[in-house]
């Protein structure tokens, strides 16, 4: 999630890779900070750093676990459809490689409350905006 937060921050405030590298010691702690200091000269781009960070500290089964979480994620009994879709879209957004929209819609629909599946048929929508409006 650290790399995701940095990426989101860069979407709001563009920052050059070099400047971001200068800031990292303020964000990292413990072994991650020591690792960064030791390896810093090896990275010429944020992309290279992010790959190395994932390799060193990332969960090797992260994508498997994420797919499992998506398959188990169901709409809560009192959870509004918009909240459920926001949550599951957040999970879909972390997939690598990403799933196509049709596959995402199929999973989102399949895991909605059964009473809503009876009221809304899968053929009634072609995208998430349409599903949320139903």
Contact yes or no for 85/128 (Cβ under 8 A): yes
pLDDT at 61 over 90: no
Distance (Å, whole) CA 134 – CA 40: 51
- Give me the chain's average pLDDT, please: 93
Contact yes or no for 75/116 (Cβ under 8 A): yes
Distance (Å, whole) CA 35 – CA 55: 12
- On the CB side of 47, CA atoms within 13 Å amount to 0
pTM score of the predicted model: 0.67
Instruction: Give the per-residue pLDDT at 8.
Output: 87
Distance (Å, whole) CA 7 – CA 9: 5
Burial class (CB in 10 A: 0-12, 13-18, 19+), 81: middle
Distance (Å, whole) CA 59 – CA 65: 9
Question: 71-82 pLDDT, tens per residue?
Answer: 999 999 999 999
Question: 112-127 pLDDT, tens per residue?
Answer: 999 999 999 999 999 9
Question: 1-42 pLDDT, tens per residue?
Answer: 788 889 889 999 999 999 999 999 999 999 999 999 999 999
């Amino acid at each position: 999630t650290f790399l995701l937060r940095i990426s989101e921050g860069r979407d709001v405030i563009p920052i050059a890779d070099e400047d971001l590298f200068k800031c990292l010691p303020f964000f990292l702690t413990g072994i991650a900070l020591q690792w960064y200091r030791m390896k810093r000269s090896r990275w010429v781009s944020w992309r290279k750093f992010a790959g190395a960070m994932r390799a060193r500290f990332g969960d090797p089964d992260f994508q498997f676990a994420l797919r499992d979480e998506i398959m188990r994620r169901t709409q809560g009994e009192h959870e509004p459809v918009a909240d459920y879709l926001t949550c599951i879209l957040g999970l879909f957004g972390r997939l690598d490689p990403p799933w196509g929209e049709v596959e995402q819609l199929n999973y989102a629909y399949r895991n909605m409350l059964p009473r809503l599946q009876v009221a809304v048929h899968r053929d009634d929508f072609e995208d998430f905006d349409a599903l949320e409006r139903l």
